[in-house]
Amino acid sequence: MIGAAVIVLIVAAIAATALATYRIIRGPTHADRVVALDVFLAAAVALCIAASLASGRTVFLDVAIGLALVGFVATIGWARLIERAPGRGGAAAAREPQSAARAGSAPAPPAGPPDP
pLDDT digits (tens, 9 = 90+) for 70-115: 999 999 999 899 888 876 544 544 455 554 445 555 566 666 666 6
Segment 59-67 shows an average pLDDT of 95
For the stretch 6-38, pLDDT in tens is 999 999 999 999 999 999 999 898 889 999 999
CA distance 60 to 57: 7
**pTM across the whole model:** 0.70
User: Which residue range is the domain that position 64 belongs to?
Assistant: 2-86
Number of domains in the chain: 1
pLDDT of residue 35: 92
Residue 102 in domain: no
Cα distance between residue 98 and residue 116, in whole Å? 30
